[in-house]
Chain A
C-alpha cells in the first residue's frame, strides 16, 4: 500500500478539514481515482479518532440521556423534526440546507453509481459484440480469402464434382453459399445463383466467379425479406448477370 508522496501531507490536512479551495479540490479529485490514498485517508481518520480518545473521560450529565431518549420516543420513525433547543432559525436553515445538499449528493451519488453500472454493462456488451464481430470477420475472411485452401472430401475414388452448398435463414434473409470444383468460365460469362421460391419466379441471389481452384463463396447477398425458399439453383449468365435465368441450371438444390 503506497500513498502518493505529493498528497501525503495534504491528506492529513484534508482529514482535519483544513484544506480549502484548489488544494481541497485537487485532493478530492485524486481520492476519486486512487484507492490507496482513500485507504490512507481512512487510516488518518482512525489516527484522528485516537487523538479524540485522548480526551475521553468526562461523562455527560444524566439528564442528557433522558433528553435524548425522550426526543427519540416522541419522534416518529423516518421523520425529521427540529430538536436542539438552542438552535436559532438560522442554524435550522443551515441544517436544512445541509440536509438538502446531502440528499442531493446522495441522489447524485446513486445516479452516478447507476450510470457507472450501466456503462460497465454496455462496455461488457460492447466487448462481447466486438469479440463476436471479430470472430465473424475471421470466419468471412476464411470463407472468402483467395489464400484459403479448400478440400473436397469424397468417398472412394470418385473424382470431385462441381458442388454448391446454400445455407439460408428465412427470418433474416441470410444466405451463405459455398461452391467448389466449379469449371472456369470465359470472361464474358458468370455464374448466377437463384433462390427458387415456393411460388413465383426465381429471384437473383448473386453473381460469382470461381477462383483458380474452382471455389467461390457468396456471403449474405441482398435478398427480399421473408421469402420461403423451395430450393436454389445456379445458371451461367452474361457477365453482368440477368434478372431471370437465361439458361438451364447447371446445379439445382436437392434437399432442404
Chain B
C-alpha cells in the first residue's frame, strides 16, 4: 500500500473509531466524504434513484451498526464501501440474499480518495483508462461489474468463448491497476 493510501487509512480509521463509540458527527463526516461514491455506484447498477438511496442507507447503517466489519489495517474505506455497495446492489438487482461476508472484503487501492483533489485526478485517470481500453474488454468488464453478469452469461450474450471473456475481465482489471502503478 502506498504512503498516500496509508494517510487515508489513518484519517478514515479515526472516524470509524469514533463511530464505534457512537459519534454521530463522525458518521456525518463519512457521509459527506463518501455518499456520492456509494450513491453513484448503486445508481449505476440499479438505474433507480429510490433503490439507490435504499442501498446508500443500508451501507451506511451497516457501518454504523457494525463498524468492526471494516478493518482499517487491511484496506481502504472508500474502496471497501464502493465494493460492498456494488455487491449489495447486484444482490438487490438479482433479487438474491446478500451472500458475501463483507468482513472478507479487503480492498487495496492507491489513490487518496479522502482528498477531493486527489479523488478528482483519480476519477479523470480511471475514465481515461477505461476509454483507452479495447471496447470488447471494457464491455466485458462493465457487464461483469455493473450488471453482475457471470462470465458464462457474458459469453452467451456476446457469442465469445468463455476463456476469452475470463481473460478480458482480468486484463481489464490489470489495466486499471497499471494506470496507478505504472
Interface residues of A (CB under 8 A from B): 8-13, 16-18, 20, 38-39, 41-61, 64-65, 67-69, 71-73, 75, 77, 80, 83-84, 86-87, 94-95, 97-98, 102, 105-106
Complex formed: what's the CA distance from A13 to B90 in Å? 14
User: Which of B57, B76, B87, B149 counts the most A-chain CB atoms under 10 A from its CB?
Assistant: B57
CB of A80 to closest CB in B, whole Å: 6
Chain A residue at smallest Cβ distance from B55: A84
Chain A residue at smallest Cβ distance from B169: A12
Given A13-B151, A60-B39, A83-B61, 18 further pairs, Cβ under 8 A: A9-B169, A12-B169, A17-B90, A41-B106, A47-B173, A47-B174, A51-B126, A52-B83, A53-B113, A55-B44, A55-B146, A58-B43, A65-B35, A68-B56, A72-B61, A84-B54, A84-B58, A106-B103
Q: A47-B176, A60-B39, A102-B101 are in contact. Are A86 and B54 (CB under 8 A)?
A: yes
Range, interface on chain B = 35 or more
Contact of B36 with A65 in the complex, beta carbons under 8 Å: no
User: Which of B100, B144, B146 counts the most A-chain CB atoms under 10 A from its CB?
Assistant: B144
Q: A12-B169, A42-B107 are in contact. Are A64 and B35 (CB under 8 A)?
A: yes
Interface residues of B (CB under 8 A from A): 22, 24, 27-28, 31, 35-37, 39-41, 43-44, 49-54, 56-58, 60-61, 64-65, 74-76, 78-80, 82-83, 85-87, 90, 97-101, 103, 105-111, 113, 119, 122-123, 126-127, 130, 141-142, 144-146, 148-151, 166-167, 169-170, 173-174, 176-177, 179-180
27 A-B pairs with CB atoms under 8 Å apart are A11-B170, A12-B173, A13-B151, A16-B145, A17-B99, A18-B149, A18-B151, A42-B75, A42-B107, A42-B108, A45-B105, A45-B106, A48-B83, A48-B86, A48-B145, A49-B79, A49-B80, A49-B83, A50-B179, A52-B83, A54-B130, A55-B40, A56-B37, A67-B53, A68-B27, A83-B58, A98-B98
Contact of B40 with A50 in the complex, beta carbons under 8 Å: no
CB of B132 to closest CB in A, whole Å: 12
Complex formed: what's the CA distance from A64 to B65 in Å? 18
CB of A82 to closest CB in B, whole Å: 11
